[in-house]
Amino acid sequence: MIRVGLTGGIGAGKSTVAKTFIERGAYHVDADRIAREVVEPGTPGLAALVEAFGPEILAADGSLDRPALAARAFADPEGIQTLNGITHPLIGARTQELNEAAPADAVILHDVPLLVEGHMAPFYDAVIVVHTDADVRLDRLVNLRGMDAADARARIEAQATDEQRRAVADIWLDNSGSPDELAAQARRVWTDRLIPLRDNQLAGVPAELPTEPVPADPQWPAVGTRVVNRLWALLGGTATAIEHVGPTSDPTVPAAVGVIDARVTVADAAAADRAAELLSAGGFPPLPGAEPRVHATVDPGRPARVRIVVAD
């Protein structure tokens, strides 16, 4: 299975992309739905919120009055910390339950509005960002959803910037056109990127790496940063250092083979073996025909090679 993170600003059009993927068999995990489930009447989550913020956060029918909760929880940093301390572990546990229930060949789609704000991007095999300019989103929220303009503007401004989203995006979908055009983009991503990625992961084989030099791409350092962050998420304390190396790490190189090379440094041979196991399980199987301890990504859209080295 692979895990795909879907995100974008409020009103960007994530639901169209999610619907397109679900129609093709994606296993949908909706963060907003989970956040509601864990505080439904009768749940430990709602009881904990009432204990922390008082019975005034309840509606007449015993359900959570979200505006009342927001008025108390967001009044100060301590309230936000308390709210997150109650809800985040519950959301995480329910998400893990759903992940474990997914079929072995699933494309698990995590629909997470605050993926960027929560620094969750490195924990996905691929991150998809749906982009729409802020003024267009504001118009949609006000005229299509009936939101108050000031509230809609405040929500947009409170979320991640376009630059922050672009920094983590493996796939960038432009929703400046019609819903049909966005759905067509999503279908191509499903067919050309996600299914090959999933199939390579299931087979335990890397995607084919390019071999011919191309003009230097100014995005290579950003892609390298995403690869390094992904490797840290996979390896954690097993590695002592992870670096983007080689020609694609040097912005002054005029041309190079477009492969992101990363070097993982470990303390000893046992750590090297453990790193190889974690890489293979996490979407970086051994590269056929290469020397030992060289791995490559299963993602056909992000050519990357990883070399494990033992510190001197």
Binding residues: 11-16
Provide the Cα torsion 145, 149, 150, 152; round to 10°: 30
How long, in residues, is the chain? 312
CA distances from residue 84 to 77, 87, 116, 120, 185 in whole angstroms, order as listed: 11, 5, 16, 15, 35
The pair phi, psi for residue 303, each rounded to 5°, is: -55, 120
Burial (CB count <10 Å: 0-12, 13-18, 19+), residue 119: exposed
Among candidate residues 305, 308, 307, the one with its CA nearest the CA of residue 210: 305
Among candidate residues 14, 226, 189, 194, the one with its CA nearest the CA of residue 113: 14
Enumerate residues 6+ apart whose C-beta is below 8 A from 40. Answer: 46, 63, 64
Q: How far apart are CA 104 and CA 279, in angstroms?
A: 18
Binding-site residue set for ATP = 11-16
Please provide the DSSP assignment of 174-214 as one string: E-SS-HHHHHHHHHHHIIIIIHHHHHHHHHT-PPPPP-SEE
The answer to whether the beta carbons of residues 224 and 244 sit under 8 Å apart is yes
